[in-house]
Structure 1
Amino acid sequence: MIYVTSDLHGYPLEKIKDMLNKVGFSNDDFLFVLGDVIDRGEDGIKIFKWMMAQPNMELIMGNHEAMMLSCEFLFDEITEESISNLTGSKLDLYLNWEQNGARPTINALHSIIPEEINYILEYLHEAPLYETVSVGGKDFLLSHSGLGNFDKNKKLSEYSNDDFLWNRPKIDDRYFDDVITVFGHTPTIYYGEEYKGKAVVTDTWIDIDAGASYGFSPMLLRLDDLKVFYF
């Protein structure tokens, strides 16, 4: 079975493990995490370290991981003094990340050794912007935020990083007719109170950001039968 989740935002690791246990997730299954593991919640770095040890899990880049990588210059020495001495473009990049909820991640990075930080950075650098998979006779495109500036005649290689990381589709936007696009990034409550904590399913795309950063539990989508699990 192939599962997808998104926008964990530091959701407690033990609860993530419980979530997977409840659906019978095993070594024969696979999990895609559509970005935004870190920031806003508790310790997303702990989730990274756990995912890195799992051969049947893959991270797809989210905008919060991209913001962390844009501040890679911080990680030689993460101290309050080094942060306060930032200027120019580096300060702008840091402030953008911090204003988007970076503080829990920075605090977590304070507590681990540089070698571990380097392993995490390597892991993030290897994360793709999207994946395409075929399951149960259906084709899927998995990305963090859908596809910005969508044109069905464009190749995926022609989209910018921001198109995969920062897009917020409107409820009546359409993607490919023969591919189901699965993404997070936009908490589903944005589409109306009736979607609070639930998936938004259209005929061409599915949004699975349940709003963990707003206190809701993440959801799991099983691609094999399009069943959604709420916790």
Structure 2
Amino acid sequence: MIYVISDLHGYPFVKFLELLNKANFSSDDYLFILGDVIDRGMYGTEYLKWLLYQENVELLLGNHEAMLLSCSFLFEEVNEENLRNLTPESLELLANWKDNGAKWTLEGFYTMEQDDRISIIEYLREAPLYEIVSVKNQDFLLTHSGLKNFDIKKKLSEYTANDFLWNRPKLSDRYYDDIKTVFGHSPTFMYGKEYSGKIIKTDTWINIDVGAGYGYSPILLRIDDMKEFSL
């Protein structure tokens, strides 16, 4: 069975494990997390440390992990002196990340062993922008935010990283007719109160970011049968 979840944003890690248990997730299954396990909530670094040792869980890069990587200069050695010696360009990158909820992630890195910091940065640098999986003759494109500047004639290799990381699709947007696109990034409550805390499904895409970073409970989706699991 293949499961997908997105935008956990530091959601309590113990509850996340309870959610996997409720879905009977096992070593025979596979989980794709479609980016943004960090920031806004206080448990993001717990996910990062856990992911290092999971053989059947894969993190796709989210825009928040990309912001972390843009500030990786901090993590060679995280200390106050490094923060004082940042260049204007580095300060701008850090300010942007902090404006997007980096507080808890930075604190987590402060208390982490250096070897763990290095391992996490290396892991995130290898995280893919998208994956394609097939289940019961249905193909799925998994990515963080859908596809910005979508063109049916475009190859996936022709999209930029920002196209995968920072897109905000409209309800009327269409993607591939023969491939279901699954993404997060845009909390579903942004599309109207009637979608609050719910997955949105259209005939060409599925948005699974139900707003865990804003107090909603995340939903785990099993794409084999489209069953949803929540606490």
Give the shorter-chain TM-score range: over 0.9
Paired residue for 1:33? 33
State the distance in 1 between where 2:178 and 2:22 align: 31
Are the counterparts in 1 of residues 78 and 110 from structure 2 also a CA contact under 8 Å? yes
Letter in 2 for 1:44: G
State the 1:49 CA deviation. Answer: 1.1
State the distance in 1 between where 2:109 and 2:127 align: 19
Identical amino acids, percent of aligned pairs? 60
Are the counterparts in 2 of residues 186 and 209 from structure 1 also a CA contact under 8 Å? yes
Q: How does 1:161-200 map to 2 (within 5 A)?
A: 161-200=161-200
Q: How many residues align?
A: 231
Q: What's the secondary structure of 1:89's corresponding residue?
A: helix
State the 1:50 CA deviation. Answer: 1.1
Q: How does 1:30-109 map to 2 (within 5 A)?
A: 30-109=30-109
Are the counterparts in 2 of residues 136 and 225 from structure 1 also a CA contact under 8 Å? no
Summarize deviations over 1:155-212 as a string: whole Å, max 9, x none: 0000000000000000110000000000000000001101101001000000000101
State the 1:136 CA deviation. Answer: 1.4
TM-score, structure 1 normalization:
0.98
Letter in 2 for 1:31: L
State the distance in 2 between where 1:32 and 1:120 align: 17
State the distance in 1 between where 2:161 and 2:89 align: 19
Summarize deviations over 1:112-134 as a string: whole Å, max 9, x none: 11111000011101100000000
State the distance in 1 between where 2:77 and 2:27 align: 37
Query: Could you say what the CA RMSD is over the residues aligned between the two structures, in angstroms?
Result: 0.9
State the distance in 1 between where 2:13 and 2:165 align: 24
State the 1:52 CA deviation. Answer: 1.7
State the distance in 1 between where 2:47 and 2:221 align: 19
State the distance in 2 between where 1:156 and 1:11 align: 31
State the 1:80 CA deviation. Answer: 3.2
